[in-house]
Amino acid sequence: MTDRLTIRRPDDWHLHFRDDEVMRGVVPYTAWQFARAIVMPNLAPPVTHAAMAAQYRERILAAVPKGVRFTPLMTCYLTDDTDADDLARGAAEGIFTAAKLYPANATTNSAHGVSDVARVYPVLERMEAEDIVLCVHGEVTEDEIDVFDREAAFIERHLRGIVRDFPRLRVVFEHITTSDAVRFVRECGDGVAATITPQHLHINRNAMLVGGIRPHNYCLPVAKREEHRLALREAAVSGSPKFFLGTDSAPHLRSAKETACGCAGIFNAPFALESYLAVFDEEKALDRFESFASIHGPAFYGLPVNEETITLERAALEVPGELTLAGESIVPFHAGETLGWRLAG
Ligand code: NCD
Ligand code: ZN
């Protein structure tokens, strides 16, 4: 039995740091594990311009613990009015690594998102020409579409068209939650990939709704049926370079989760690697963990792999029931559970 695993230092290709005190509290969790992370721009107000992203990057870097090497990779929040010149300049200057498409009102802080995908077609055309990666929150927002069907509907209504109309645009279908998404990504060319979160590998929708409503297992896109979870696990451990790690860690304080209208988002940053590794261990795919965590992402983004390594060891890891963040309580993913691996050293 493998009891120690040394891999190239991984990267997180999708997460939320927020800002101010919460940001300063969560950045160390990510920086201790990951060399780089794609930082989501859904602040209030959103990060829509290169100058805002450059300043946000500085604030993040100031929160990285001394002696830890960590590089935040910034994203531009697309709106109906995105300035394509500013985006292209920001990408050329190394401020932006990608741009993020949120359908308006699909999720937390997305009110300024894109109201109609057709409105950003000129920006997508420019991104294709400049080879800027598009990250997509793939859910429709129409009232008549059931929340459990919103990802599948987005593929048919929007994503298929984007991929057809911009064949050279590199697209990350983020935090996929369905077998429909797995199939779609597999059928597309090399320019289309997907990130998968730990929660969507561990839980199905029962974890949110059986035995009482469990707000800490609520995120968007919402966890789906068991058959979808199994399809995601199969994709994650398959070795296909189209699937890679993106935690979607989305911190909301306990008070914002345990309320009549709780926020969407699961805070998985503190034990993200251990959470993923539990899945690869259960699937007898420890030998494919490094490619999912550390190789496929940089290959897709056209970035070098990390030369440093990290080691994980088999050992009982008790996840606390709560943590303190910004002087308040926050409940991490796997709260109160025992995981079978932990970061060594
Ligand atoms: C994210 C957040 O809280 O910013 N929430 C979530 O449930 N994943 C937004 C997002 O990625 O959808
Ligand atoms: Zn997210």
Is the pLDDT at 176 greater than 90? The verdict is: yes
- The pLDDT value recorded for residue 206 is 98
- The pLDDT value recorded for residue 146 is 98
Atom of ligand 1 minimally distant from the CA of 197:
8
Is the pLDDT at 345 greater than 80? The verdict is: no
Q: Around 102, how many Cα atoms within 13 Å sit in the side-chain half-sphere?
A: 24
- The pLDDT value recorded for residue 107 is 86
| Interval 222-233: pLDDT, tens | 999 999 999 999
Report residue 230 CA to chain centroid gap: 19
In a domain, 161, yes or no: yes
Residue 161 sits in a domain of what CATH number?
3.20.20.140
Q: What is the mean pLDDT of residues 144-154?
A: 98
In a domain, 329, yes or no: no
Cα dist. 181→81, 98, 238, 240 in Å? 28, 21, 15, 14
Residue, of 106 and 67, whose pLDDT is higher: 67
Record the tokens describing residue 188, joined without a space.
Answer: 């597309």
Q: Which residue has the tokens 């910034």?
A: 74
Is any ligand 1 atom within 6 A of the Cβ of residue 38?
Answer: no
Cα(266) to centroid(ligand 2), Å: 9
Rounded to 5 degrees, φ, ψ at 23 are -60, -45
In a domain, 222, yes or no: yes
Q: For the chain, give the percent of residues with pLDDT over 70.
A: 100
In a domain, 130, yes or no: yes
- The pLDDT value recorded for residue 43 is 97
Report residue 55 CA to chain centroid gap: 22
- 3-state SS, one letter per residue, for 114-152: ECCHHHHHHHHHHHHHHCCEEEECCCCCCCCCCHHHHHH
Is any ligand 1 atom within 6 A of the Cβ of residue 108?
Answer: yes
Is any ligand 1 atom within 6 A of the Cβ of residue 265?
Answer: yes
State how many domains the chain has. Answer: 1
Cα(186) to centroid(ligand 2), Å: 22
Q: What is the mean pLDDT of residues 95-109?
A: 94
Contact of 213 with 190, CB cutoff 8 Å: no
- In this structure, of 56-60, 114-118, 126-130, 230-234, the range with the lowest mean pLDDT score is 114-118
Is the pLDDT at 108 greater than 90? The verdict is: no
Range of the domain at 70: 9-310
CA dihedral for 89, 94, 96, 97, sign (positive or negative): positive
Cβ neighbourhood burial of 303 (10 Å; 0-12, 13-18, 19+): middle
Q: How far apart are CA 300 and CA 134, in angstroms?
A: 12
Helix axes 20-33, 50-62, angle to 10 degrees: 70
What band does 150 get if pLDDT is binned at 50, 70 and 90?
very high
Which conformational region is residue 69 in: left (phi greater than 0), alpha (psi within -120 to 50 degrees), or beta? beta
| Interval 247-280: pLDDT, tens | 999 999 999 999 999 999 999 999 999 999 999 9
- In this structure, of 101-110, 239-248, 305-314, the range with the lowest mean pLDDT score is 101-110
In a domain, 290, yes or no: yes
In a domain, 333, yes or no: no
In a domain, 80, yes or no: yes
Q: In terms of Cα–Cα distance, which of 171, 77, 165, 74 is closest to 122?
A: 165
Check if 12 is active-site. no
What band does 1 get if pLDDT is binned at 50, 70 and 90?
confident
- The pLDDT value recorded for residue 88 is 98
Please compute Rg for the chain using Cα positions. Answer: 19
Out of 219, 222, 267, 330, give the residue to mutate to test ligand 1, the one with the largest number of ligand atoms within 8 Å of its CB.
Answer: 219
Q: For the chain, give the percent of residues with pLDDT over 90.
A: 97
Residues 121, 125, 129, CA angle at the centre, nearest 5°?
165
Q: In terms of Cα–Cα distance, which of 247, 238, 239 is closest to 196?
A: 247
What band does 166 get if pLDDT is binned at 50, 70 and 90?
very high
In a domain, 321, yes or no: no
Q: How far apart are the first and last CA of the chain?
A: 21
